[in-house]
Structure 1
Amino acid sequence: MRLLFVTSEIFPLIKTGGLADVSGALPTALATTGVDVQILLPAYRGILAQCDAPQRLGSLQAFHDIRCDIYQTTLPGTRIPLLLIDYPALYDRYGGPYHHPQYGDWQDNPLRFGLLSKVAAMLAVPNMLQSWQPDIVHCNDWQTGLTPYYLQQMGSMAKSVFSIHNLAFQGNFHADWRHRLTLDDQDFQPAGYEFYGHLSFMKVGLYYATALSTVSPTYAKEIQTEQFGFGFQGLLQHRIDDLTGILNGIDTQVWDPATDPYLPANYDASTLQAKSAVKQALQAELGLQPLPNAPLLGVVSRLTHQKGLDILVEIAHELLASGCQLAVLGSGEPALEQQYLALMQQYPGQVAVTIGYNEPLSHRIMAGTDIFVMPSRFEPCGLNQMYGLRYGTIPVVANTGGLADSVQGGALAADGTLPDTMTGLVLAENNPSTLLVTLKQAIQIYANNGQWKQLQKQAMQQDVSWETSAKHYLDLYQDLLDI
């Protein structure tokens, strides 16, 4: 089975969120099952230099005025072929893959990701670059949404899977872009790529892909509702037979407290006492008071309304009055960033806020905190709660999407016994008062050393690897090829 995996970001080369982690881990897991996989990615600034001996395969005339070079290398740390689209005018820029340094979208994003989609389709028909052609093209989020359309337009025999990582980000642009991107005018209609008068990359993927997947079973159900469908619920209900929810896994080699090179001490479920050394070092690193028994809460997240972190700010004063500490790493909405920075100023030594992205620090927060907070208003899958399970850092999560699928809540029995299925705490409702009550419950369990150690061990026993998820994807691919 030959698979082309198309993505706009991938760990460890370029990362803004969970898509990069998935893109790095899923192809690797699939390759171990015997899938012949190649990955396609834009050559953003500095990426060619990060790769081992990239070889130029040739060039492709993607659009009438764009001829791009294609380089082949391997994904760092693997033997998986990585194809890179080298077109400096679109990709060699200072800033992120989607935003310029001032956080606004690149104005030519339709062309930047239209090119990614077009090249993916061109690699799935006979071409001069390589004899290898995919049986299946796996597309990820709106940035690759035009791929299934181009596959159809070019008469490719490859089947397509379009994975929805976050339906809220849709790639909706002015309708005039359809001409620049060589989309047929006759398809600019509701039964096509038109979405409320706009060209929607997400709509193209949802409408034209052979099969659709989401990153958790619960999210697959949620996006068929008005609350979470963002205008696509009708189309998704129509395609319900083509829609599958597969819970993400995590890279259990990268995220392993027993071997994690970013930690000052390593530990596993049988040596949990070493976790306290990591906590002590984290408190020192972040300027928090060296209080080993103070419950330390962690947040590693985009600071956005979606993530529900405004809810956490709202209860912070009452929460901190209980004596806990808070460590936050992330960036996002400027107003929310300022609220967290103000909180740090108000509670020196009790609150630490780091604005930005820092992979090593994210590992240390994951390992050094006691409780991990994720009150997301919606969460297609979420990976941090799985990192928390893996690291014995108990997740407190909203009852939505992949959070609901991966964290098992529970209540103490009348005699104080902890359910042996419990791996974290799940909010009954997602509002400030419920979050405060639930965090206080977590702190109460933390105060009972025996219960807390039991809960940590139950969390760390969970299978959060990609192996199970990869088998589900393999089944999906095989079903498509059997059609």
Structure 2
Amino acid sequence: MKILFATSEAHPLIKTGGLADVSGSLPDALAALKHKVRLVLPAYRDVLQKVPAKSVRKVAEFEVGGCGREFVATILQVKAGGVEGIDVPVWLVDIPELFDRSGNPYLAEDGTDWWDNGERFGVFSKVVTELAMDRVGLKWVADVVHVNDWQTGLVSALLSMEKKRPKTVFTVHNMAYPGNFPQSLFAQLKLPPSLWGMEGVEFWGHFSMLKAGLLKSDWVTTVSPTYAKEICFPEFAYGFEGVLQKRFEEGRLIGILNGIDEEVWNPAKDELIHKNYSLEKGRVANKKRNKAFLLNELSTLKGLDESAMTSQMENWLEAPLIGLVGRLVEQKGIDLVLQVLPDMLEQTQANFVFVGSGNKAYEAELSRYAQQYADRIWTYIGYSERLAHQVEAGADLFLMPSRFEPCGLNQMYSLAYGTPPIVHHTGGLADTVVNATDEHLKQGTATGFVFYDPSRYALKSTLLHALHLFGKKRSWQQLQKNGMQQNFGWKASAKHYVKLYSEEK
């Protein structure tokens, strides 16, 4: 099949979250199954700076309408393998007025949305539609167009107006971002009037690009089976429960679990960690060496005296180290962590490392804890890919207490690295982590720790249970092995998508 995969971000070209990881990996996995894939995304300034000039050529140029103005869209093709980490040809949509900006694809430097995001991604969706219908002279007709999140949801609605069109699949990575804009944007983009209304893209008088994808795609997928069920309920649907329940009843809403890139997230070959290890070799000794390296690096960053670090290292290595990498926002449960942290410091020997950014109040509180407990808490405000890998390899436990989590990737990274995760029973976390109950431990199926109520009491109880098991070396090592034996590669997920692509419209 010929598959056009449209996205607003793709690792390693540009990344703000999990969408980029999926967009950088799934197309390659589909290509490995012998399908012809093209990845299309905006030519942001940062993307053009990363692409080697010798790998790029202009393949098309045409006009596309925006809000009361015309743009020239240039399609730049990056050859397969032209960017390390992406094995399929990439089409970059170069419209400098919309995408030649520094930094984040969606946010200005002050942290607010770009004022013209609606026009930017509305125009991008128009371009993708022209590519899908092969109206720009590339002589490449898509069988399937796979679009992702609100930024490309309009593509499905526009293609629904075409007579001979490809199949459309819309993947929701996070329902919390609806892509809502004023009705005036719909008019200014000169979109087909028949798309407006309750059975179209209207959402409480606004223009919703998310609804366009949910309602007008042949298939709607989410990134885990549990999340597909959860979003049919009001607390997870953000007002779209009626649309989602309709699609579910039609059999057109399903969940396909994300995979992980086993070339990038593999402790046996990870170039960002201190010592490599695998299930069979070096798991215990080298994991401890990674722990020492991580603590030494973080303590150096903190400015701790080298002699003090040396005297403390033996205690640090014996005490359990709990790591958290992620956005410091309530969705991720960081407020629950801060509520239980004083008790954990007082009642246990556990140490903590936090890597992330988000709510300024949470950043400040974690930084304060790191100063107050200089030899037990390490905090890095910001994002560091290198540190993210080192925490997975060096921590003993990984903390992921999200209130909701469409799929989540860090819990799967943690399992692969022999770092049992502590998770809330929601979305993809529920689908990937088997709770370490007595029964599951006896059966040899336990892989981590699960709590079922997003409260400080449930989290604390689960943390204490995990630390208790950490003291039982034989049981702990078996738990690590169980996790490292799991297979979360992209091949299985890609096969599910191919099966879906083959279904009737």
TM-score of Structure 1 vs Structure 2, range by shorter chain: over 0.9
Mean Cα deviation higher: 32-41 or 353-362: 353-362
CA-CA distance at 1:127 after TM superposition: 2.3
1:80-122 deviations in Å (ceiling 9; x for gaps) = 1000011122112122011112211111111111122111100
Distance (Å, rounded) in 2 between the aligned partners of 1:345 and 1:46: 35
**TM-score relative to the length of structure 1:** 0.96
Matches within 5 A, 1:75-474: 75-240=83-248, 241-270=251-280, 271-272=282-283, 273-287=285-299, 289-290=312-313, 291-321=316-346, 322-412=348-438, 418-474=442-498
8 Å contact 1:51–1:76 — kept in the other structure? no
Report the secondary structure of 1:442's partner residue: helix
Distance (Å, rounded) in 1 between the aligned partners of 2:339 and 2:140: 55
Change (3 A) 1:129 1:359: farther
Distance (Å, rounded) in 1 between the aligned partners of 2:402 and 2:85: 32
8 Å contact 1:264–1:281 — kept in the other structure? yes
**Partner amino acid, structure 1, of 2:332:** K
CA-CA distance at 1:180 after TM superposition: 2.3
1:324-367 deviations in Å (ceiling 9; x for gaps) = 11111111122222221222122112111111121111111111
8 Å contact 2:60–2:138 — kept in the other structure? no
8 Å contact 1:411–1:419 — kept in the other structure? no
Matches within 5 A, 1:36-51: 36-51=36-51
Distance (Å, rounded) in 2 between the aligned partners of 1:154 and 1:110: 23
8 Å contact 1:410–1:419 — kept in the other structure? no
CA-CA distance at 1:149 after TM superposition: 1.4
**Partner amino acid, structure 1, of 2:263:** Q
**1:67 matched residue in structure 2:** 72
**Structure richer in helix, relative to its length:** 2
Report the secondary structure of 2:411's partner residue: helix
Identity over aligned pairs, percent: 43
Q: Which runs of 4+ in 1 moved over 2 A?
A: 74-79, 126-129, 152-156, 184-188, 416-419
CA-CA distance at 1:10 after TM superposition: 0.6
CA-CA distance at 1:154 after TM superposition: 4.5
Aligned-pair Cα RMSD in Å: 1.5
CA-CA distance at 1:208 after TM superposition: 0.7
Distance (Å, rounded) in 2 between the aligned partners of 1:27 and 1:319: 43
Report the secondary structure of 1:48's partner residue: helix
1:423-466 deviations in Å (ceiling 9; x for gaps) = 00110322101101101111111111111111000000001111
8 Å contact 2:294–2:391 — kept in the other structure? yes
**Partner amino acid, structure 1, of 2:467:** I
CA-CA distance at 1:22 after TM superposition: 0.6
Distance (Å, rounded) in 2 between the aligned partners of 1:129 and 1:311: 55
Distance (Å, rounded) in 2 between the aligned partners of 1:458 and 1:337: 34
Distance (Å, rounded) in 2 between the aligned partners of 1:236 and 1:166: 14
**Partner amino acid, structure 2, of 1:337:** E
CA-CA distance at 1:155 after TM superposition: 4.1
8 Å contact 2:275–2:290 — kept in the other structure? yes
1:234-258 deviations in Å (ceiling 9; x for gaps) = 1111111111110111001110000
Distance (Å, rounded) in 1 between the aligned partners of 2:147 and 2:76: 20
Distance (Å, rounded) in 1 between the aligned partners of 2:144 and 2:84: 23
Give ranges in structure 2 of 5+ residues lacking alignment.
300-308
8 Å contact 1:48–1:54 — kept in the other structure? no
Distance (Å, rounded) in 1 between the aligned partners of 2:183 and 2:324: 39
Change (3 A) 1:417 1:110: closer
8 Å contact 2:46–2:102 — kept in the other structure? no
**TM-score relative to the length of structure 2:** 0.92
Distance (Å, rounded) in 2 between the aligned partners of 1:354 and 1:119: 40
**Partner amino acid, structure 2, of 1:247:** L
Distance (Å, rounded) in 1 between the aligned partners of 2:427 and 2:392: 21
Give ranges in structure 1 of 5+ residues lacking alignment.
none
**1:55 matched residue in structure 2:** 57
**Partner amino acid, structure 2, of 1:114:** G
8 Å contact 1:68–1:85 — kept in the other structure? yes
Change (3 A) 1:417 1:462: closer
Aligned length: 479
Distance (Å, rounded) in 1 between the aligned partners of 2:345 and 2:100: 45
CA-CA distance at 1:417 after TM superposition: 5.8
1:199-237 deviations in Å (ceiling 9; x for gaps) = 111011111111100000000000001111111111111
Report the secondary structure of 1:130's partner residue: coil
Report the secondary structure of 2:45's partner residue: coil
Mean Cα deviation higher: 375-384 or 329-338: 329-338
CA-CA distance at 1:156 after TM superposition: 4.9
Report the secondary structure of 1:239's partner residue: helix
Mean Cα deviation higher: 362-371 or 68-77: 68-77
8 Å contact 1:418–1:451 — kept in the other structure? no
Distance (Å, rounded) in 1 between the aligned partners of 2:365 and 2:190: 45
**Partner amino acid, structure 2, of 1:170:** P
8 Å contact 2:18–2:409 — kept in the other structure? yes
Report the secondary structure of 2:160's partner residue: helix
